[in-house]
């Protein structure tokens, strides 16, 4: 389980670094501390992997999608929506 845990921390660090590099204010929640929340979020979002980025209550995607949005220049238009 420690290698799996390490795997998740790697992706979490990547998305945090992306958000910080874009000067975005954000909050985090460790879904692995609550199995019920984790399972409900997976069902609600219909997105199987973590971390997941939500903006104004809407799922943007995981770390790869966020990276693609940053690379394409679309990221700020999503996070700056009113």
CATH number at residue 14: 3.40.30.10
Q: What is the CB neighbour count within 10 angstroms for residue 54? A: 13
Please give the tally of structural domains in the chain.
1
What residues make up the domain containing 8? 2-79
Q: Quick: pLDDT tens for 57-75.
A: 899 999 999 999 999 999 9
40, 41, 42, 44 alpha-carbon torsion, rounded to 10°: 80
Q: Quick: pLDDT tens for 5-59.
A: 565 688 899 999 999 999 999 998 888 888 898 888 888 888 888 899 999 989 9
Q: Is 63 exposed, middle or buried (0-12, 13-18, 19+ CB in 10 A)?
A: buried
pTM: 0.81
d(C-alpha 45, C-alpha 59), whole Å: 7
What local confidence, expressed as pLDDT, does residue 2 receive? 45
């Amino acid at each position: 389980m420690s290698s799996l845990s390490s795997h998740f921390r790697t992706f979490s660090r990547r998305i945090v670094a992306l958000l910080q590099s874009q000067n975005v204010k954000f909050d985090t929640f460790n879904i692995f501390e609550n199995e019920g929340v984790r399972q409900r979020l997976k069902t609600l979002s219909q997105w199987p992997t973590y971390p997941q980025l939500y903006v104004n209550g809407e799922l943007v995607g995981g770390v790869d999608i966020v990276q693609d949005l940053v690379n394409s220049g679309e990221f700020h238009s999503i996070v700056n929506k009113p």
